Amino acid sequence: MFVRMNSEVDDALRRGGPVVALESTIISHGMPYPQNLKTARRVESTVREAGAVPATVAILDGAFQVGLTPEELEQFAKTADVAKASRRDVAAMLATGKPAATTVATTMIGAAMAGIRVFATGGTGGVHRGAEMTMDISADLEELARTPVAVVSAGVKSILDIGRTLEYLETVGVPVLGFGTDEFPAFYTRSSGLPVTARFDTPAEIARVLDVQWKSGLGGGVLVANPIPEAVALERDYIEGIIEQAVTEAGAKGVRGKDVTPYLLRRITEISGGRSLASNIELVLNNARVAGEIAVALSESTGQ
């Protein structure tokens, strides 16, 4: 009732074919126009090249729309004031029929409603630096705990407290699978010094773990951590300096609540003069490819 699929996604799911969900907040609040639109289109093509059907998710006309038309994609890329909807915002958005972009948490909700098991993004939300004072912890983490979707990301940006984010995921029982890595990646850099739950080197092995997670009744989500390609990774000291500046500015300006993450993402792009954006785009494409391959492997092994 509250989910609508385009016909391509619907057909693929009916025959047990591979589908990859994609989020819309990364388009509306995560990257500037026009790079956001160009990236969203390239991400969809990358999923197709891997053999899966892309399904960008957003809230439109009182339902989760799973699979956007090119015009709808453009609307989310160009409308500066489109709302960002996390779990707590969903009922109000659906009831009023207002359009909203979906975060990792709400894209997982829409994907699960549609029956999609694999989702590609850039980075997820997590425990913010200073959360011991602000209690700013992304709803993405609780969603990972409860909703059975695998999220392929390049780890989390160090705008967050990566150690506490992993502690939280451990507490709520979310497997963090390293794709070709023993270490949890830190978005712009390949390492964080912190271990993943388990390492796997092929999409088929990841698909097998997902199948066990869900068939065994363990349920909930899985975070697949896929490091940024070496060639486009940034130097740790360079990006850390920029992130610290952005976090300090956000504190001084009193930025709060759902505005914190979009503010930091925008400032990091501005301060780096677009250098961070180029890396961000490449890691998202890399995640889309790996998610496509995992979706294909899952579909081949389980027909879902």
Among 136, 140, 143, 161, binds Mn ion (CB under 5 A): 136
Residue 52 CB coordination number (10 Å): 27
Q: How far is CA 289 from CA 149, 163, 230, in A?
A: 17, 27, 16
- The yes or no reply on residue 143 touching Mn ion (CB under 5 A) is no
For position 140 contacting Mn ion by CB under 5 A, the verdict is no
Q: Is 227 in the site for ligand PSU (CB under 6 A)?
A: no
CA distances from 202 to 8, 162, 209, 249, 274 (A): 27, 25, 11, 41, 32
156-185: which residues touch ligand PSU (CB under 6 A)? 157
User: Shortest Cβ distance from residue 84 to ligand PSU (Å)?
Assistant: 7
- Which one of residues 147, 181, 261, 276 is an interface residue with ligand PSU (CB under 6 A)? 261
Query: Interacting stretch for ligand PSU, rule CB under 6 A, among 21-29, 46-54, 62-70, 247-255?
Result: 21-29
Q: How many residues at the interface with ligand PSU, by CB under 6 A?
A: 18
> With binding defined as CB under 6 A, does residue 155 bind ligand PSU?
no
Does position 138 interact with ligand PSU (CB under 6 A)? The reply is yes
Report what 221 binds from Mn ion, ligand PSU, none; CB cut-off 5-8 Å by kind. Answer: none
Taken in order 122, 6, 37, 31, the sign of the CA dihedral is negative
Contact residues for ligand PSU (CB under 6 A)?
A: 23, 25-26, 30, 86, 103-104, 122-125, 138-140, 157, 258, 261, 265
Contact residues for Mn ion (CB under 5 A)?
A: 136
